Structure 1
Amino acid sequence: MAKWDNMLSMLWMLRSGKKLTAAQIADSLEISVRTVYRYIDALCASGVPVVAESGHDGGVRILESFKETPLFFNTVELKALVDAFKFAQGAGYPYTEELESALKKVESGLHEEQRHELTRQTSGLDVIAPVLPPSVVPLLRDLEQAEKDGRTVRIAYRKANVEQAEEREVDPHGLAYDRNLWYAVAFCHRSQAVRTFRVDRITRLEQTEAYFEKPERFSASAYFRDQSEQGRESDGPLIVIRIEGEPDTLNAVCGHWHLRHYLQERTDREARFLLDIPTMDKYLPMYMLTFGTAIRILEPLELKHRIQEMAHGIAKHYEADSNH
């Protein structure tokens, strides 16, 4: 363990209020007693009133006047904070500037040795950010503020494959980040139902004078899960679906917006799902066909046979074309 991590651990041990001997601290941290006394000197130099008393009832303690311990992080915790900032920045998190400012405050309190170690620990990880329209960040802030205030907003929303944006009023209930995209979950006044809106397809947003009351304990992620459940064709019976393939291909299958909710088990080369038969019959043959020979259906036989029939039908279709 690094020097500053050991010092931090010792500080938290002493904060318990118990008087500990140097030998007890050394045993706990697996360091020498001599090193414990060096750490005591370093903590005192940093302004922490550590006292080492000799004698039968002696020991190491922190003076009661030291009520508030400064905020310290060990090396791995600091690395986690920096890495989390990289992921947030890559996702288009709307408060990355504030997060960066907070991180700089933390880093400003580090010793030079800690800064050097932090740079070394975090230099090997980068997050390649998806390309997001520059309007997404202010839209996310405005949508979140509208959700907090309970304020209805008017948006111009452009659906997929539609050039003209449509205007509608919505009550934002929450935001969700899914598969490199931001979504607003909101009650749509036009459809009189809760809907999801891709934030990058919102071309304009403005506040209205209307207010709404958000449902208690609303969760955007729970809404997504519920929508997936409702997409099932039937409540049963359920059937096991086993798919074999390369890891990258299985990642795509398991990450499908609908299938991922029914994933039961995953290994490097195989994925196991539990799904109702009507949904399997309606959606999976065509979807699995798109992966060609990159995957293999291990079970059930019904799904394998259906894909074989579809592939044979496609082959016959193009055989007829080649005869002309």
Structure 2
Amino acid sequence: MKSSRLISLLLLLQTRGRMTAAQLAEQLEVSVRTVYRDVESLHAAGVPLYGDAGHSGGYRLLAGHRTRLTDLFAGEAEALFLAGVPGAADELGLGSHFVDAQLKLRAALPAPLREHVDRLRTRFHIDAPSWYAEETGTPFLTEVADAVRRGRVLRVRYRRWKEPTDVDRRLEPYGLVLKAGRWYLVAGPGPRTYRVDQILELVVDDAESVIPEGFDLAAYWREYQVGFRERLHQGEAVVRLTVEGGGRLTGPAARAWAETRAPEPDGWTRATLPIESLAHAHDTFLALGADVEVLEPAELRARLAATVTALAARYAVPPGRAAETPEP
């Protein structure tokens, strides 16, 4: 709605100061021409909004002008109450502040909207970690979060997956990310990403942590995830699958099966699937049992054949003893 967009435009200028038409268009997800029209509408309504030309120009509100827009729409109130994750606030040591903030927000709502939000809160519950996530705990999360807030350098002993596993690092925190119930610290130099639950020792330094100008935590994390997926699947396997086997695939393997599968005369399908490593692929395909046959790479096929041969020998019925049929 135009009225909502005009309010958003005013609040952006009020909180960020001078902004160009292009910057406003990007934030509001509209065209620059639409921003020009919105500015004209605000001028006509008497809003003290000014535009400066030139390289450092942009739109700004008259100094000292504040727009009081405290009324919330129902959708906005719902979003504010549902956006908060109490568990995350507790882990960061902000649980009591989270509760107080929600109480203040609730008290500021008109009675009908307050009742609507109260009903909504009984119908949604956010539980971010996956079913099989281990309850490992994150001992130094509060200290890391405090260093992020105050902009302080960290000196840590960190456990990584490759040798040497335990290393000492001087980190300049840029931000924290919560992904699937696990906390990650993005820090310089680099920046690089560190799992907070792999920090073994930690000392907060008095030195100030400097975040590079223009660093965008959300943009970095998006790029990091893309790179992570590319690094994760660096190989391929050519396989034959039954329909049941293909249906049990998940993630990138399931998408690749759907895109590359070719039917064969015996009812199976041939497909090329991404794999992380030979060891990981071995375990993944072994779990599919007789519903998969690996054709390539030859080393993976040989590993599976060796495992199946060993299993067959282990479970072979001794001579002279009839196999027992399990009761239904």
CA distance in 2, matches of 1:247, 1:135: 41
Corresponding residue for 2:308? 315
Write the deviation string for residues 9-40 of structure 1: whole angstroms up to 9, x where unpaired: 9x979x9xxxxxxxxxxxxxxxxxxxxxxxxx
- Give 2:173's aligned amino acid: P
Q: Given the superposition, is the C-alpha separation of residues 128 and 228 from structure 1 closer, same or farther in structure 2, using an over 3 Å criterion? A: closer
CA distance in 1, matches of 2:260, 2:242: 8
CA distance in 2, matches of 1:271, 1:94: 45
Pair 1:133 & 2:126 matched: no
Question: 2:174 touches 2:187 (CA, 8 Å); kept in 1?
Answer: yes
Write the deviation string for residues 77-99 of structure 1: whole angstroms up to 9, x where unpaired: 32222221136638945655444
Question: 1:241 touches 1:273 (CA, 8 Å); kept in 2?
Answer: no
Q: Given the superposition, is the C-alpha separation of residues 304 and 223 from structure 1 closer, same or farther in structure 2, using an over 3 Å criterion? A: closer
CA distance in 2, matches of 1:206, 1:102: 31
- The answer to which of 175-184 and 273-282 deviates more is 273-282
Measured after TM superposition, the shift of residue 225 of structure 1 is 2.6
Corresponding residue for 2:120? 121
Measured after TM superposition, the shift of residue 246 of structure 1 is 9.9
Q: Given the superposition, is the C-alpha separation of residues 170 and 108 from structure 1 closer, same or farther in structure 2, using an over 3 Å criterion? A: same
TM-score, normalising length from structure 1?
0.52
Corresponding residue for 2:72? 73
Question: 2:245 touches 2:288 (CA, 8 Å); kept in 1?
Answer: no
Write the deviation string for residues 271-307 of structure 1: whole angstroms up to 9, x where unpaired: 65899988578466325325435x9669xx7469987
Q: How does 1:190-269 map to 2 (within 5 A)?
A: 195-208=192-205, 214-215=211-212, 216-217=214-215, 219-231=220-232, 233=234, 253-254=250-251, 259=252
Report how many residues are paired: 242
Corresponding residue for 1:292? 288
CA distance in 2, matches of 1:173, 1:102: 25
- The answer to which of 305-314 and 223-232 deviates more is 305-314
Question: 1:156 touches 1:166 (CA, 8 Å); kept in 2?
Answer: yes
Q: Given the superposition, is the C-alpha separation of residues 314 and 297 from structure 1 closer, same or farther in structure 2, using an over 3 Å criterion? A: closer
Q: Which segments of 5 or more consecutive residues in structure 2 lack a partner in the other structure?
A: 8-44, 48-65, 130-134, 262-270, 319-328
Corresponding residue for 1:183? 184
Question: 1:94 touches 1:140 (CA, 8 Å); kept in 2?
Answer: no
CA distance in 2, matches of 1:239, 1:304: 7
Task: Name the % identity.
Answer: 17
Q: Given the superposition, is the C-alpha separation of residues 154 and 144 from structure 1 closer, same or farther in structure 2, using an over 3 Å criterion? A: same
Write the deviation string for residues 167-223 of structure 1: whole angstroms up to 9, x where unpaired: 4322334433222211123347xxxx7643221232432233556654553624423
Q: How does 1:6-45 map to 2 (within 5 A)?
A: none
Q: Given the superposition, is the C-alpha separation of residues 296 and 124 from structure 1 closer, same or farther in structure 2, using an over 3 Å criterion? A: farther
CA distance in 2, matches of 1:178, 1:243: 34
Corresponding residue for 2:51? none
Q: Which segments of 5 or more consecutive residues in structure 1 lack a partner in the other structure?
A: 1-8, 16-61
Q: Given the superposition, is the C-alpha separation of residues 117 and 278 from structure 1 closer, same or farther in structure 2, using an over 3 Å criterion? A: closer
Question: 2:155 touches 2:204 (CA, 8 Å); kept in 1?
Answer: yes
2:70 match: secondary structure: coil
TM-score, normalising length from structure 2?
0.52
Question: 2:157 touches 2:168 (CA, 8 Å); kept in 1?
Answer: yes
1:124 match: secondary structure: coil
Alignment RMSD (CA, Å): 5.3
